[in-house]
Amino acid sequence: MTIRGTTTDPCAVRAHDLGKTYSVRGVKGGVRALDGLDIAVERGIVFGLLGPNGAGKSTAVKVLTTLTRPDRGSAEVEGADVLRNPGRVRRLIGVVAQRSGSDPRATGRENLILQARMHGMGGHAARTRATELLDRFDLTEVADRLVKTYSGGTQRRLDVALGLVHRPAVLFLDEPTTGLDPEARAAMWTEIQRLASGDGLTVVLTTHYLEEADRLAQRLAIVDHGHVVAGGTPDELKGELRGDAVHLELASGSVPAEVRAVLEALPSVREVRVAGRGVSARSDNGAAAVPAVLAALERAGMPAAAVTVARPSLDDVFLRYTGRRYTPDNGQDTPATPGTRPSGDVADTDPTVRQEAAK
């Protein structure tokens, strides 16, 4: 059984026009983390907040979980206002922060019991709930070992269990799989899916992994520079992109502006973007367009080193809306064609996007 608000609103979480600027010494005007963020999360789904490092995902979670106050805007969880009724919001939610909140010098079981006691459960109820969760999250074997001896995946499972102790209606998971190996990540994905589908929980998940968002989230909000740039189901978002994605890797020595001019002159491709040595474009028929693309680059003396044709991915969706590309291997955004990013924003001062600003 979970606690629910009394609202008839089909959304478990709503945020409207959230803004938040952190004061940072030496940074004039501070660092703008949220800039007009709007979301509406239907009850009982996994909702993904997807965005690159520094996009404002954790700040959004902190506002929604009453850990920080926004400078503007409003937010509600199960009908309870985060500013006017933070106590009620806290009873309705579970939070798994980006950094683990468990005590490494206590055992998993002790952590769970302590958490239950902090939520006002009696000793017997707390121990029973701890045993239930240890079993549920496959932690029984390690239950009486100190948390500091746990592997990363095991520790993260305990974090999720800790967030569920008081049977919340909404669970916030901030980057639940960052740093996990593929096997532990897959196990966590299964667990998260089970929470929404089996237990009817609303899960708000932040991630900078495109694949994770694609697989887990029934609905997504792509966040960049503190606001939502695109939203919908992963299929809706990908479906907005007509045709195939053509990705090229250029040989060294190519001149990005010239490459773009060469490709833009071809009728079979559109939306040409150049980011370093990577080029992407769209085509109604990618496989048919490739020979012309390769020949044109060859003629211009800037041959391609590699080419792939793919159905649209969330990576392409991100590119479409932000002008930048996530790199496939580490999920970070990469420098893109100059002039695609709005100027005068936090990226100029924010170390997490210095890579971009340095471009």
- The residues that touch ligand ATP, with contacts defined as CB under 6 A, are 22, 24, 31, 33, 51, 53-59, 98, 208, 346, 350, 352
CB 275 within 8 A of CB 325: yes
Q: How far is the CB of 19 from ligand ATP (least distance, A)?
A: 12
User: Per DSSP, what are the bridge partners of residue 304?
Assistant: 250
111: contact with Mg ion by CB under 5 A: no
Q: How far is the CB of 343 from ligand ATP (least distance, A)?
A: 16
Q: How far is the CB of 18 from Mg ion (least distance, A)?
A: 15
Q: How far is the CB of 206 from Mg ion (least distance, A)?
A: 6
Q: Choose between 54 and 108: whose C-beta lies nearer to Mg ion.
A: 54
Rg of the chain (C-alpha set): 23
Q: Choose between 2 and 53: whose C-beta lies nearer to ligand ATP.
A: 53
Q: Choose between 204 and 262: whose C-beta lies nearer to ligand ATP.
A: 204
Nearest to 283 by CA among 266, 296, 297: 266
Give rounded-to-5 percent helix, strand, coil for the chain. 35, 30, 35
Site for Mg ion in 79-98 (CB under 5 A): 98
How many angstroms separate the CA atoms of 202 and 60, rounded? 16
Q: How far is the CB of 286 from Mg ion (least distance, A)?
A: 34
b/e burial code for range 134-160 (CB count within 10 A of at least 16 → b): bebbebeebbeeebeebeebbbbbbbb
Binds 53: which of ligand ATP, Mg ion, none (CB < 5-8 Å by kind): ligand ATP
Shortest-Cβ-distance residue relative to Mg ion:
58
Binds 111: which of Mg ion, ligand ATP, none (CB < 5-8 Å by kind): none
Other Cβ atoms within 10 Å of 283 Cβ, number: 23
CB 39 within 8 A of CB 13: yes
With a CB cutoff of 8 Å and minimum separation 6, the contacts of 17 are 36, 37, 38, 72, 73, 74
Q: Choose between 121 and 204: whose C-beta lies nearer to Mg ion.
A: 204
Encoded one letter per residue, x for contact with Mg ion by CB under 5 A and - for no contact, window 42-81 reads ---------------xx-----------------------
Binds 24: which of ligand ATP, Mg ion, none (CB < 5-8 Å by kind): ligand ATP
Nearest to 232 by CA among 214, 252, 207: 214
Positive or negative CA dihedral for 59, 60, 64, 70? positive
Q: Choose between 64 and 290: whose C-beta lies nearer to ligand ATP.
A: 64
Q: Choose between 109 and 208: whose C-beta lies nearer to ligand ATP.
A: 208
Interacting residue ranges for Mg ion, rule: CB under 5 A:
57-58, 98
